[in-house]
Amino acid sequence: MLAVARAVVRRDLLLALRRRSDVATALLFFVIVASLFPLGVGAEPNLLRSIAPGVIWVAALLSSMLSLGRLFAADHADGTLEQMLLGAAPLGVVVSAKSLAHWLVSGLPLVAIAPFIALQYDLAPGLYGVLALSLLLGTPVLSLIGAIGAALTLGLRGGGVLLALLVLPLYVPVLILGAGAVEMAGAGLGPEGQLLLLGALLVLAAAFSPWAIAAALRISME
């Protein structure tokens, strides 16, 4: 089972490596969205400092969602997905591995870029660690929940906009806890509560969403 998971992750990462521009586009989107906010709300440092966690988290949400469409689309188009459904390997393991690969490509780089955005927003340097940790715990949840939506909207016309409508309301708890952790730390209170709850969400999502993703794929491919 682990061998299957490793093979799927390796394959998806290799595919992402071959199409680097796709990955770069989502990251660039993250940076651009985050850079638009100061232009909209003004460059007042205190204001920017207070909205920084929320803006970075919202941008992360959108950028992670934007790349969800690719999660199953290419495999669906060339028939690989059908083989995965028919194959002997448990579908739950395969979709978990695909979600993990999606996170490695679209979530993990955000953790690395976020401190630079935080720098632009003049966030206190002591908060960088909390911000990175909250993204590290929260973005995998986004990939897992998002994969359910991606599987449900597989092959539909207007799938992208529909996906946003389905998935964004479900992202709300992650946004609240992730941005809340940084704000708590900024207010001098401990961010442990939020981070622990984010960890709990991650465990829940990792335990249950593979089932839902697998069921959704079977429904969509029927």
Partner 1 sequence: MDSSIRWFWFASPQTFFPLAGTIARWCAAGAALLAVAGLYVGLVVAPTDAQQGEVYRIIFIHVPAAWMSMFIYLVMAGWAAVGLAFNTRLSFMLAQALAPTGALFTFIALWTGSLWGRPTWGTYWVWDARLTSELILLFLYLGFMALHAAIDEPRRADRASALLAIVGAVNVPIIYYSVQWWNTLHQGASVSITRAPSMAAIMLTGMLLMALAFWLYSIAAVLVRVRCMIRERV
Residues that bind partner 1 (CB under 8 A): 148, 152-153, 156-159, 162, 165-166, 168-170, 172-173, 176-177, 180, 183-184, 197, 201, 208, 212, 215-216, 219-220, 222
Q: How far apart are CB 143 and partner 1 at their closest, in Å?
A: 15
Q: How far apart are CB 147 and partner 1 at their closest, in Å?
A: 11
Distance of CA 204 to the CA centre of its chain: 16
State which residue, 40 or 169, has the beta carbon closest to partner 1. Answer: 169
Q: How far apart are CB 158 and partner 1 at their closest, in Å?
A: 6
Q: How far apart are CB 32 and partner 1 at their closest, in Å?
A: 25
Cα–Cα distance between 55 and 47 in angstroms, integer? 12
Q: Which helix (H) or strand (E) holds 168?
A: helix 159-186
CA distances from 23 to 17, 26, 43, 130 (A): 8, 6, 30, 25
Please say whether the beta carbons of 34 and 59 come within 8 A: yes
Please say whether the beta carbons of 218 and 91 come within 8 A: yes
Q: How far apart are CB 38 and partner 1 at their closest, in Å?
A: 22
State which residue, 4 or 215, has the beta carbon closest to partner 1. Answer: 215
State which residue, 79 or 169, has the beta carbon closest to partner 1. Answer: 169
Please say whether the beta carbons of 118 and 34 come within 8 A: no
State which residue, 14 or 165, has the beta carbon closest to partner 1. Answer: 165
Sign of CA dihedral 178, 182, 185, 189: negative
State which residue, 28 or 219, has the beta carbon closest to partner 1. Answer: 219
